[in-house]
Amino acid sequence: MTISNLNLVGTLPLLFLSAWACGLLLVDLWIPGDRKHMTGWMALSGFAITFFWVSSNLGQREEAFGGMLAIDGFSNLLHLVFLGSGILATLLALNYLKQHDIERGEFYPLMLFSVVGMMIMSMAKDLIVVFLALEMLSIPLYVLVGFARTRADSEESALKYFLLGAFSSAFQVYGIALIYGATQATGFAAIGDAVAISGASPLLLAGIGLMLVGLAFKVSAVPLHMWTPDVYQGAPSVVTGFMSVGAKAAGFAAIVRIFFSAFHSLAADWAPVIVLFAVLSTVIGNVAAISQTSIKRMLAFSSIAHAGYVFVAIVPGGYGALSDFAASAVIFYLAAYGLTNIGAWSVVIAVDHADGMGSDISNYAGLARRSPGLAAAMTLFMLSLTGLPPTMGFVAKFYVFRAALAAGYTWLVVVGVVTVLISAYYYLRVIVVMWMNSGDGQVVTPRALNFTVGVTAAATLVLGLLPGPLMAIVESSVRGLF
Amino acid sequence: MIPTTYYLALSAILFSIGVIGVLVRRNAIVIFMSIELMLNSANLAFVAFAREFGTLDGQLMVFFVMTVAAAEVAVGLALIVAIFRSKASIDVDAVNLLKG
Amino acid sequence: MLLQELLRDYLPIAILLFVATGMAFAMVALGHLFGPRRDGKAKLMPYESGMTPIGSAVRRMPVRYYLIAVLFVLFDIEVIFLLPWAVVLRKLGLFGLIEMLVFVTILLVGYIYVWKKGALEWE
């Protein structure tokens, strides 16, 4: 490799954010303990600069680091999802950390490092890079999950997340080793060529399966979902909101790139597995969510179910002409889920108290009377998570199901619609509790939180009513990529 | 020269021992050691393939896996020590505040 | 056939293994057979001379040892990248040097962080 095919210019936003994270880690050392919010604001400005930098050049199509990274519409749009969730979570963290008495400066650099890992993940065109990016996003997350160190449930969920995460990444590494053994390559293009010539060998299929275990764990697909409710419940809520969007989107980015480009010719082999993940995740996630009384666990099972809907969108990717359509549907769904879910978690943070009370669905009783704005926003988020109009969630589900229909998976769409109906039960229950029941719990709504809730609610509504422009951007940036 | 298949068989055996170790042992440190065993069995497979193909990609991958394993050790040990300090036990069955 | 070849290649090692094991057993056995035996209470102590040990040999270590060990692992592993780089240093030229400087700078960030946080102070 020489300096000419490094393409440092193309990766500048990424390099900038990494350097910003390293710099912030050092600068934070000289910031006194009672002014740690300054670190937060600096992290925020780093995110914001990168966000606008990336969004100014969405349509580029380049490669970097000798073809190991791709800089294209797919990665750029997902970068916006990661950076956006980083911005919103940092805004929430400014007050959350102080309120829960866990304010330490390291929180923000860890967040930046994790986002850098997610960004690399969506650009990866080589299995080595996929593995490194996965670890780079996970290791800061392990620490962030255990960030509320004085609380035992935070520590426990961190240990659980760490042990299971390391376990699954060991599977992934072994899978990569077998794929390398079967194809003599780690780059997606070279693997694709080798697979097209030699077809599927048992070694290769075993490798793909093991690698998929690692990725499916990250996106919390059934049957690799057992950690999700515990970790989402125990982790600080800002971290949960962040990881439920960022880590999931990054995992799906890698799945899309690997399966649409490297293993495109093996679609007949992997499509049934993806279908299985889709059916199991939507059914089990939604059914298990019904019986939850804690809103955090309910949202955790809901996130498992949403992983299932993204898998529904991935299935058509194996059908040649449809792979662009499928990739657009994945991006759109992840963006919709990200906006809505971070909004919902900010409401959870507002109702949640430092003493651990307020995470029960019954604590939402009477919210409509005490703070109508918050309740209205939560109503919107619940409608969007269900997939009802006029929200972005509806458009996203519609998009996903249309992609599956185009590939001829009518029965899968039927399963999807039935599970949406099941999910309506528990999402709408929250709305009923908020508007019909009376209660007198307290909410804490600092300005940054109101801003986050306002932005996400407005975006969920506006993009639900007028999805056209965003859809056009997504489709034009992804066209011809896969 | 030893055939590559032998190395692969050994690496598969090591990997299985690691998986079984994670599933049956209850001590967090031992579980963690089993995970390291799994990572290293993958390393063995990488090196064996790299030797067979006469390319360096596989050996390169081993470097990265080892580095990542070290980073995981740092975070994992810190978490385990933190748990031990608050619970005086690193038995994963004692980690039971969260249902599920 | 392959197996036979393999066995022939490893025959010297196998012989060495047997000889070494046999030697070890033989020495213990011979000492046991011909050596004089004078059992006594002092013989059963961990140290024949010096103080009588008190308490269990397994003690809890200060958590600081873990910290130092973890830091050692982290900063030790970077050699894995330095060594191959050093082998082809001349071929890589200036480009390789700059790359390595970037790498070492990142390490330095970690080092300054650890230092400033006081993780290297023993007391």
CATH of the domain at C79: 1.20.58.1610
Which of these ranges, A2-11, A140-149, A443-452, B90-99, has the smallest mean pLDDT? B90-99
pLDDT, residue B100, reads 45
Distance separating alpha carbons of residues A81 and A83, to the nearest angstrom: 6
Domains and CATH numbers, chain B: 4-88 (1.10.287.3510)
**Looking at residue B88, what is its pLDDT?**
74
pLDDT band at A422 (very low <50, low <70, confident <90, very high): very high
User: Is C70 touching A (CB cutoff 8 A)?
Assistant: no
pLDDT at position A311 over 70: yes
Res A188: pLDDT: 92
Name C66's bridge partners: none
Kindly report, residue by residue over A101-159, the tens digit of the pLDDT. 888 889 999 999 999 999 999 999 999 999 999 999 999 999 999 998 878 888 889 99
Q: Which residues does chain B have within 8 Å of residue A162's beta carbon, measured at their own beta carbons?
A: 72, 75-76, 79
Q: What amino acid is encoded at A126 in this protein?
A: D
pLDDT in the model for residue B97: 62
Instruction: Please indicate whether, in this complex, the C-beta atoms of A26 and C106 are within 8 angstroms of each other.
Output: no
Strand partners, A70: A63
State residue A414's pLDDT score: 95
* Number of Cβ pairs < 8 A linking chain A and chain C: 13
Q: How far apart are CA A332 and CA C6, in angstroms?
A: 58
A4 and chain C: CB distance < 8 Å anywhere?
no
Based on C-alpha coordinates, what's the Rg of chain A?
A: 21
ipTM over 0.90: yes
**What is the reported pLDDT for A86?**
95
Give the count of domains, chain C: 1
Q: At what angle do helices B57-87 and A152-183 cross, to 10 degrees?
A: 160
> Is residue B68's pLDDT more than 90?
yes
A445 vs C41, which has greater pLDDT? Answer: A445
Asked if residue C122 belongs to a domain, the reply is: no
> How many angstroms separate the CA atoms of A452 and A87, rounded?
9
Q: ∠A150-A152-A155 over CA atoms, to 5°?
A: 85
Task: Give yes or no for a contact between A347 and A381, defined as CB atoms under 8 angstroms apart.
Answer: yes
Q: Which site among A14, A18, A22 would you substitute to test the C interface, given the most C Cβ atoms closer than 10 Å to its Cβ?
A: A22
CB–CB contact C2 B81 (8 Å): no
A364-380 per-position pLDDT tens digit: 888 888 889 999 999 99
pLDDT confidence of B3, banded at 50, 70, 90?
Answer: confident
Candidate from A134-143, A278-287, C5-14 with smallest mean pLDDT: C5-14
Phi, psi of C75 (to 5 degrees): -85, -15
Query: Chains touching chain B at 3 or more Cβ pairs under 8 angstroms?
Result: A, C
C84–B63 CB contact, under 8 Å: yes
The stretch C45-67 carries a mean pLDDT of: 71
Q: Are the beta carbons of B70 and C73 separated by less than 8 Å?
A: yes
pLDDT per residue over A155-200, tens digit each? Answer: 889 999 999 999 999 999 999 999 999 999 899 999 999 998 888 8
Q: Nearest by CB to A139, from B28, B48, B75: name it.
A: B75
What is residue A141's predicted lDDT score, i.e. its pLDDT?
95
Kindly list the residues from chain C whose CB atom is less than 8 angstroms away from the CB atom of residue A132: none
User: CB-based burial of residue A424 (10 Å sphere; 0-12 exposed, 13-18 middle, 19+ buried)?
Assistant: middle
pLDDT for A231 equals: 93
Q: What value does the mean pLDDT take over residues C34-47? A: 74
Nearest CA in chain C to B71: C74
**Does C79 reside within a domain?**
yes
Picking from A405, A385, A406, A407, the residue whose alpha carbon sits closest to that of residue A396 is: A385
Give the mean pLDDT of chain A.
91
**How many other CB atoms are found less than 10 A from the CB of residue A284?**
19
3-class secondary structure for chain A? CCCCCCCCCCCHHHHHHHHHHHHHHHHHHCCCHHHCHHHHHHHHHHHHHHHHHHHCCCCCCEEECCCCEEECHHHHHHHHHHHHHHHHHHHHHHHHHHHCCCCCCCHHHHHHHHHHHHHHHHHECEHHHHHHHHHHHHHHHHHHHCCCCCCHHHHHHHHHHHHHHHHHHHHHHHHHHHHHHHHCCCEHHHHHHHHHHHCCCHHHHHHHHHHHHHHHHHCCCCCCCCHHHHHHHHCCHHHHHHHHHHHHHHHHHHHHHHHHHHCHHHHHHHHHHHHHHHHHHHHHHHHHHHCCCEHHHHHHHHHHHHHHHHHHHHHHHHCHHHHHHHHHHHHHHHHHHHHHHHHHHHHHHHHCCCCCCCCEHHHHCCHHHHCHHHHHHHHHHHHHHHCCCCCHHHHHHHHHHHHHHHCCCHHHHHHHHHHHHHHHHHHHHHHHHHHHCCCCCCCCCCHHHHHHHHHHHHHHHHHHHCCHHHHHHHHHHHCCCC
Tell if the CB–CB gap between B64 and A131 is shorter than 8 Å. yes
- For all residues of chain B together, what is the average pLDDT? 88
Most confident of the following: A109-123, A321-335, C90-104: A109-123
Q: Out of A59-63, A288-292, A378-382, A393-397, pick the least confident.
A: A59-63
Q: What are residue A126's DSSP bridge partners? A: A187
Which residue of A8, A25, A39 is the best one to mutate when testing the C interface, meaning the one whose CB has the most C CBs within 10 A?
A25
Taking the Cβ of residue C61 and every Cβ of chain B, the question of whether any pair is shorter than 8 Å is answered with no
State residue A425's pLDDT score. Answer: 93
Task: Of A5-9, A24-28, A63-67, B69-73, give the lowest mean pLDDT range.
Answer: A5-9
Band (pLDDT 50/70/90 cuts) for residue A361 is confident
Residue B98 has pLDDT above 90, yes or no: no
Tell me the CB-side half-sphere exposure of residue A184, using CA atoms within 13 A. 9
Q: What is the mean pLDDT of residues A83-101?
A: 92
pLDDT reported for residue A356: 62
Residue B14 or residue A1, greater confidence: B14
Encode pLDDT of A31-89 as tens digits: 988 888 899 999 999 999 999 999 998 888 888 888 899 999 999 999 999 999 999 99
Contacts of A26 in chain C (CB under 8 A): 109, 112-113
A29 contacts in chain C (CB < 8 Å) = 112-113, 116-117
Share of chain A above pLDDT 90, in %: 68
* B94 vs C: CB within 8 A: no
Q: Which of C6, C63, C73 sits opposite B74 (nearest CB)?
A: C73
Under an 8 A CB cutoff, do A186 and B18 touch? no
Residue C108 lies in a domain: yes
Range of the domain at C73: 2-117
- Assess A8–C contact: CB distance below 8 Å, yes or no: no
User: What confidence tens digit (pLDDT) does each residue in A266-275 have?
Assistant: 888 899 999 9
Helix axes A323-351, A295-314, angle to 10 degrees: 170
Contact C73 B67 (CB under 8 A): no
Closest approach of chain B CAs to the CA of A321, in angstroms?
33
pLDDT tops 70 at residue A438: yes
Q: Is residue C14 part of a domain?
A: yes
Domain assignment present for residue C29? The answer is yes
